[in-house]
Structure 1
């Protein structure tokens, strides 16, 4: 993971922290607020912090792809030093021995994320092979990032674009035209989709949703396109071109709007669906990912307003660590109750759940601040 002193964009850590905040404890604050003060804005925000049941989209559905998009944006910056040392201008020009080192490093990172994903899913409970869920959020991040990295290292921008559109169109054709036994072709239900069928056929262990897994095998392929969108964004932003940064941001915003429109149009025939990671979902959320990044880059890196984002930077600089901890490795609720529970009991009963949820975030931020000040980051 990165920090604010290693030359990378501060906005990337802030955006990563923003999306991770909702997973680690932010959603519980909003849900508590919606119950305590059921005004329309809190009720709407609470509804947006649940996954869409199937087709359709909520803000919560965007968190995972935005995180993967940010990983893609980081890629051109992380390889920049290697290109400078090798005296080349593009990653495709890197010598073969240098590429092999990068491949091994990327493979190691992917394997670590896969294993950590197993751990988050309860591998260490030793419930048996058939009860272990092997698909995971961290695993998909690792695999999609790895495959996008292979494309970035071996193909120029035009060929990367061909791969991007090829993945989206190829996934659409497969999902719509390849028949599933007992269901036929183009049945985009949990059990009838090609994605669910392949999961049941080839994915070992326990599936998240019995008949399919939202981080399953086939739907990992379009997730590569999500990572590639981040790669395109990072490549374009750091490219030395004649026009200004401001005009770059304008073009990025325009691209984002076009992607959102494309996603909405494609939704008519291939519904926006996070569970299946449909091609329309990639376009729609990809557009919003770019808009989120433009906002954070404009405010933090371009205008220099960083102080407000410091809590987000704390989260973003150790995002994998806090994700693993919040998913069950650490009982933050117990710690927060031990530290703040006595004080919270003096508050009006109706507001106690809200401050209890807030206290969990405070404990998490204290831990992250401690790690940040000592420059202890989980680097994968």
Structure 2
């Protein structure tokens, strides 16, 4: 395997571990606040997880394609990888609705986490290969400003638009009219059509950090810290006019989450790649097979919910109640312990795959 920047794998693996943790509580009615998404505006630690992954997708594009020529072969490989990600995401959605006979596809959800990763990866990789940093910066600014103007100032059916969860919200309106019943909720989808544009910018900002990591400059950590602080400050200032919101993937949300991503990656880079400390190796193993681990966790979590144990329990519910629920600890703690156990299980799988040199490229 080629030499890798350790901190990037650790960051990616840590993000995947957090994805699994927040997606698999023992009981969704008993979850500590930081492990839930914000109801609408604002953000929690959980709302950092998905943008962190898209950010590191952008960083990884630089590391993977810095020596590649923008030719037909490279574009074909990028296209195939993107289609694989989209296909896996659609499979997970279809599997949930159609288990065990794979029928009744009329309500399958078209958007999703893997679908968004695939689309964002495709366009971010092409922009990196075929343009320069000035063009990428211009595209990012145009998307963020244009998205703000579109959602906040363009009239919708003769009325004023809104950033709230309502019918006169542009993102909700487009998703409802284009996707119909193929959405996460009846009125909106957090991985919907319009919000994919600013999600692309999250990866593009990761490309700038990737450029820093492969540069010859001696002050990489300081540069990333400065980038992080500037993005955070700009994001919080913009929040006054365009609220931080994950479901809408607002422009302020893009900047704030990319700011935190830069600061966290700078810290991990300093500890591992600069100081050489043996830090977070278990996350490095997960980072080397990130998509595979995420897919496996999503797939088997769905099976655990779908397989019935008795009349009133899923396999998930039976396992949770039998092993993790005790009168001596709170329900929220039991729920968290279940999630931590599931996460540890998939980290173990990642460790075994890494030690056996099994690296599955999706």
Q: TM bucket by the smaller chain? A: 0.7 to 0.9
CA contact (8 A) 2:13 2:290 kept: yes
8 Å CA contact retained: 1:191, 1:212: no
Which secondary structure state, in structure 1, belongs to the residue aligned with residue 67 of structure 2? helix
Report how many residues are paired. Answer: 343
1:233 matches 2:205: no
Match of 2:19 in 1: 23
Rounded Cα–Cα distance in structure 2 between residues aligned with 1:286 and 1:216: 20
Q: CA deviation at 1:366?
A: 2.8
Structure 2 match to 1:377: 359
2:41 to 38, 55, 69: 55
Please name the residue that 2:297 is paired with: 326
What is the alpha-carbon root mean square deviation over aligned residues? 2.9
Aligned to 2:124: 148
> Contact 1:178 / 1:186 at 8 angstroms: preserved in 2?
no
Contact 1:144–1:223 (CA<8 Å) still a contact in 2?
yes
Output the TM-score relative to the length of structure 1.
0.81
- Residues 319 and 190 from structure 1, CA distance in 2 versus in 1: closer, same or farther, beyond 3 angstroms? farther
Equivalent position SS for 2:12: helix
2:329 aligns to what?
A: 350
Mind listing any 5+ residue stretches in structure 2 that lack a counterpart? 306-314
1:12 aligns to what? 8
- Superposition deviation, residue 348 in structure 1: 8.5
Residue in 1 aligned with 2:67? Answer: 81
Cα–Cα, structure 1 residues 154 and 255, in superposed 2: closer, same or farther, change >3 Å? Answer: same
| Corresponding residue of 2:113 | 137
Aligned to 1:285: 257
**Could you tell me how far apart the structure 2 residues matched to 1:254 and 1:202 are?**
41
User: 1:19 and 1:322, CA in 2 relative to 1: closer, same or farther beyond 3 A?
Assistant: same
Q: Which moved more, 1:261-270 or 1:122-131?
A: 122-131
Question: Against the structure 1 CA distance between its residues 209 and 27, is the aligned structure 2 distance closer, same or farther, given a 3 Å change threshold?
Answer: closer
1:39 match: none
Match of 2:55 in 1: 69
Quote the Cα distance in structure 2 between the aligned partners of 1:129 and 1:284.
37
2:212 match: secondary structure: helix
**Corresponding residue SS for 1:131:** coil
1:270-281 matched pairs, under 5 angstroms: 270-281=242-253
After superposition, the C-alpha distances for 1:322-357 in whole angstroms (9 at most, x for unaligned) are 21222233568969x99xx88x89x98538936555
- Once the two structures are TM-superposed, the CA of residue 203 in structure 1 deviates from its matched residue by 2.2
Give the 3 Å change call, closer, same or farther, for CA 190–319 of structure 1 in structure 2.
farther
2:340 pairs with 1:364: no
The structure with the greater share of residues assigned to helix is 1
> How many angstroms apart in 1 are the aligned matches of 2:244 and 2:337?
36
Query: Structure 2: how far apart are the matches of 1:29 and 1:178?
Result: 40
Residues 56, 272 of structure 1: 8 Å contact kept: yes
Deviates more, 1:366-375 or 1:164-173: 366-375
The separation in 2 between residues aligned to 1:163 and 1:153, in whole angstroms, is 14
TM-score, length of structure 2 as denominator length: 0.85
Q: Distance in 1 between matches of 2:41 and 2:25?
A: 26
Contact 2:43 2:246 in 1 (8 A): yes
Aligned equivalents of 1:73 and 1:357: distance in 2?
28
Structure 1: which 5+ residue stretches go unaligned?
Answer: 36-42, 83-93
C-alpha displacement at 1:288, in angstroms? 0.5
Deviation digits for residues 139-176 of structure 1, max 9, x if unmatched?
11111121111211121111211111111111111111
